[in-house]
Each structure stands twice: as C-alpha cells, then as structure tokens.
Amino acid sequence: MDPTVFETHPDRYHHWKLSISGDVATLSMAVDADHPHRPGYELKLNSYDLSVDIELADAIQRLRFEHPEVRACIVTADLDRVFCSGANIYMLGLSTHSFKVNFCKFTNETRLYLEDASAHSGLGFVAACKGTTAGGGYELALACDDILLVDDGNSAVSFPETPLLAVLPGTGGLTRLVDKRKVRRDRADVFCTVAEGIKGKRAKDWGLVDALVSRSKWDAEVQAHAKALAAKHAGVAKGPAVKLTPLAPKVTPDAITYRHVAVTVDRDARTAQLVIAGPDAPPPADLAGAGADLWSLRAFRELDDALLRLRFDYPEIGVVTLRTTGDRAHVLAHDVALDKDGTGFAREVRLLQRRVLKRLDNTARSLFAVADTADSNFTGVLLETALAADRFYMLIDGDAKVAVATSPANAGQNPMGSGLSRLEARFYGEPAAVERVLARGADGPIPSEECEALGLATIALDDIDFADELRIAIEERASLSPDALTGMEASLRWVGPETLETKIFGRLSAWQNWIFTRANSTGQSGALTLYGRPERPSFNFTRT
C-alpha cells in the first residue's frame, strides 16, 4: 500500500473550497465522491474519510499562519440540503480496526484544532448548517463557536451512530454535548438514540444549535454572525503572515527522512527509532523573516508528519525510541527567542509545538526516550518529548556530558490535554519537585545521575549495563499485548484532572477500541457490517 500523504495545499483540495474576504474566511465542504482516500467506496452526501479531514486540518493550519487577517471562519457546505452526513460508513466497514481507531483519533485532533484556534489565535468558527447535519457532521459543528441551522421544517442535527451502527459518535460528540454546550444529560440521552435527530425549535431550545435561520435570510444572517465573531477577536495580535512550504520527506519502506527528523523502522523487531536534530545555528533576529524554515516551526511540522505516518502506515510497530541530537545552546536560544517575541507568528509557532507534543501524547506506541551520547539534546522544547515518553533512559558517562537542560518551554508553555505541564504530570502532587527541576535547570545542564535523583530520568546506568538494560527493556515491551499496552499507557499518561480532551483521548479511545471489535457492531451480523443491506442486525443483549 502506498504511504499516506498528510501534506496538501488549497490548490490540490478535492473536498473543500477556501475563500477569504477581509477578516472572514469561508470553508465550504464540497466532497468529491470520486476521490476517496482509498478505492472501494463513494463519498456520497458530503460524507467524509481521512482525505477530507487531511484537507480540513491543512486549511485550519494555513489560516493561522498564512492568513492572519482572518478572525472568523464560516464552515458550510456546497451541497443543497446537506451540511455533512458524517464519516463514510462504507469506508468504516472496509477498514481495519487499527485504521478505524486512528481515523477517529486524527479527526478528534482536527476538531480540537478549531477550538484551539478560537481560544488562542483570535480565529473563531461559525458552523452554517443549511441542511442535514448528522454524526461526524454534527461533531464538526460542535467544534465551532456558533451553530446556525436552517429553519426549513426538514433539516435536523443528529447522532445516529448508536441506533444505526451500534457504535458511538467517534470524535468527541458525547463529551461536547454535555461538557461544552452543557446540554442536559437526559435530553442528550434522547438525542443520541433518535436516529432521525432533532430539528427546529426543539433543537434550539435544547441547546443543540445556537440559532434558527430561514432560507430567505440565510446568507445575510451567516455573514452577520461571522462579522460579530470576528469583532470579538479584534484585540488578538496577529501575523506577520508566513507561507507553509512543503516538507517533502524522503520515504523508503523502512525510513522517513526529513531535514531535522528521521525515522527508521525495524519491522522484524516491531520497533522504530525517531531522531530529532536540533538547530545548527542560533535563531535569526527576525523570527518571521526565516519563514517556514525557522527550526522551531519546521522541525515540529516534520515531527507531526512523522507521527501521523507512524500511526497509519506502520501499525505493527509497538515501541518507538526517541533520541535527539545537536547543540543545547542553540535549542535554548530558539526557545528563549520564541518566548520573548510578542508577534502573532511567534505565538502560532509555540501553539503548533504544543499541538504536536499533544499528538505525541496521544500516539498509541510505547515511547522510550534515550539519552546515551554527548550529542544528546533533550533541551527545552525537546526535553518535552522525553517527558512525554513512558520511560526515559540515560547513560551515566564519566565526564557528565550526557545531560538535559530546561528552558521557558518547560515552565507551563506546553500543557498537556489535562491542563498540566509535563513536569507537573510527572510530579503530580509534588509541586516542589517541579520547582526544584526548573530552579536547577536555570543553572545549566543537568547530568544523568542528577537527573535520576531529581526524578527526570526513569533509569540511569553506566556504560557497563546501559546497552543490555535498554535492549532487554525494548524486547520485553515489544513482546507484550499491544491492546493491553494501549490501555495501560493511556491511563498512565493522563494523570491528574479530567478535561474535555482527556475524556476524548483517554476514555473515548478505549471505548472505540472495544466497541469496534464487538460483534454487535462489526461482527458478521453486526449493525455496521449490515448497514445499507436489507438484513437486520442481530445483537447479543448481554450487558458487560
């Protein structure tokens, strides 16, 4: 199978149309049924698959970097009387279990990026639903700030997954209903079990939509809502604009090589190594002047692409070792420069780094960070990758050159989905330990033995034992059940408070893993398997 390509450009979109007028952009869903992600199904009624969401994610990213003048975006559809009918059911029926879960996860992340842009980037979203809005289509609307539904007597919002497919709204819909929109849970219960959905006045009264608009007033009302939303974001610093250039990695069967990131795969051992190289020079005085080549931006775009390729194209890989290389002083200088730069561009780079680190948190692979050479460079924002890992192995060398270093990137700038920094999650319940690490890091690099004493390193060993200890740990990890490890890692990584994000990724990922393997949905007589056929599903009604 060909590698999955996660990079695109508006010039190559098949499923979305992006237009900009002043401070308002319009993203129109116009799904091309003849261009699915994989052959074997048609994308009818503005149903979507991975290719549709790849384009949506690209559009959001480009609005943030390339079009800082935009402060509101209308998300709508070209198809008359249909906004979006959700994820393509036939695509789900044909997909492997691994693909289905990763597809839901990617779609979840993309929905969260809309909310992140609204919360931090001065970019709000209006869902203009001029027709049927079902399943994942309504979940997309829920990720927007405002939801407008056409009042034509027919258009409804719905979550038909449970009654029709024996699965759940897969991209945070349940959580957004009650946590974000604060729909009463008894009403949400009714809504999620009525396949035809709810329309008109009841949808508005129950808080499922924000406004009902007649067809005759539709265009004017949508524009008015977008303009009002843009005005709310008028005080947020924006720009300067920077074009996102192609990453163009070199991809072979067992390696993905970028400018700053490299992945090598050992299929027989079910392991991969991911290496991030630090910058080879201090940052320029004008960060935006470096454009998309700025290390802080380019390296993390590469890391993001690499993580997505690992998820979708290498499902058999169970353990990923994370290594870093380069000059600590350069990474520190880049982090400090980003922290001090007050432009909208610098903020967007920091936010992109935050999102990519969250993508790392959400990746269902065992992550072992390894610092075993003097060239190791877990500094600042790169130290966050080690703190995201399930374990951190460090070599104790005689001259203390193997070390880590902190920067402003470690002091709350990159919270996890729980709202905690990775240091706070590591030392949950021990705030003094976080302060000790940051205070010690201000004095310079922290060598391996001291890292273990401070709690940064999981295991620190000298060169007599290090290689064997690491090899055995990786081999043991790769031999364990991937299902059990996915559940264990998600539970342990999401320490602390529960938020909308942790519910989606910690809880929902577990639900989807389980429900997608149940016969009631995907068995021979399951609801998803038989969808669109004359036969009725046959359920095992035993509750567990």
Which tens digit of pLDDT belongs to each residue from 275-312? 999 999 999 999 999 999 999 999 999 999 999 999 99
pLDDT score for 1 = 64
Ramachandran category for residue 207: left, alpha or beta (phi over 0 → left; psi -120 to 50 → alpha): left
218 and 262 fall within a common domain: no
CATH number of the domain at 103, please.
3.90.226.10
* Whole-number pLDDT of residue 505: 84
Among 485, 510, 530, residue at a domain's last position:
485
227/254 same-domain check: no
Q: Does residue 45 form part of some domain?
A: yes
Number of domains in the chain: 2
Q: Is residue 530, in this structure, part of any structural domain at all?
A: no
- H or E segment at 121? none
Q: Which domain holds residue 210?
A: 10-232
pLDDT tens per residue, range 444-485: 999 999 999 999 999 999 999 999 999 999 999 999 999 889
Measured between alpha carbons, how far is 244 from 352 in angstroms, rounded to an integer? 12
Q: What's the pLDDT at 508?
A: 67
Name the H helices within 314-375.
328-340, 344-361
Residues 287, 370 share a domain: yes
User: What tens digit of pLDDT does each residue of 401-422 get?
Assistant: 999 999 999 999 999 999 999 9
Same domain, 346 and 407: yes
CA distance linking residue 65 with residue 357, whole number of Å: 19
Residues 447 and 327 grouped into a single domain: yes
State residue 516's pLDDT score: 83
Looking at the fold, whether 113 and 171 belong to one and the same domain comes out as yes
Which of 198, 232, 266 is the last residue in one of the domains? 232
DSSP string, 441-489: HTTS-EEHHHHHHHTS-SEEEETTTHHHHHHHHHHHHHHS-HHHHHHHH
Low-confidence ranges of the chain (pLDDT < 50): none
Whether the model clears a pTM of 0.85, i.e. scores above it, the answer is yes
